[in-house]
Amino acid sequence: MKSKGGFVLGLVIVLAVLVGGAYAIIRVQSTPEVATIKCVGGSEKTQLMADPDIKEILADKYQLTVEWKPQGSYDQVLQSAEQIEAQGYDCLWPSSASAQNVFESTHSGEFPDYRALTVLQSPEVIYSGPQATDALVRAGLVREQDAHYVADLKTLLLDHIVAGDTWQNLQAGSLQGPMNISSTDPARSNSGFTMAQLQLTIVA
């Protein structure tokens, strides 16, 4: 009886090990392999791509790990096919349809598997310090909406910036000198190019 009990106990342990091993094998086999892709995109997306939640979603839901490098939109799309391939890029992520058009006209037929999608759309953002923002709000050039501010760009540009107005005239605290909207280089950056387009359209 003793040996029979030992045999039964041993059999249970063996079965438990076999079941546990089979479960581990099934789990390994059913866990999709995570692919790594290398992408270059606009610097404004850097924080998004570094976000731990985004990384987790990409890994768990889409089985993707993204190696991310920031670069200006037009710097991306004006690279030669050889440069893109040498750096091992799987995707480019510029920030506008105009940059996409530049890429497509420059690289027509060079990437047979190429396709493009619009993934995100966001407003053009102007950064400003508290003194300037308060002065612009008082002058009616900026209004507060929810958690952000919206600029009357036409009035700001034509009646103040083009006209050579100064921060002293708006009583903007310690700010001095002419009012201006500066941007990144329009020849290399999509956000700078978009701002130049907006300003040119308004002035024209």
pLDDT in tens, 123-165: 788 888 999 999 999 999 999 988 889 999 999 999 999 999 9
82-91 contact pairs (CB < 8 A, 24+): 87/38, 87/40, 88/38, 89/38, 89/39, 89/40, 90/37, 90/38, 90/39, 91/37, 91/38, 91/39, 91/40, 91/41
- pLDDT tier at 171 (50, 70, 90 boundaries)? very high
Question: Can you give the pLDDT at residue 13?
Answer: 44
pLDDT at 23 over 60: no
What average pLDDT does this structure show over 38-50?
A: 89
Q: Tell me if 185 sits within 8 A of 43, measured CB to CB.
A: no
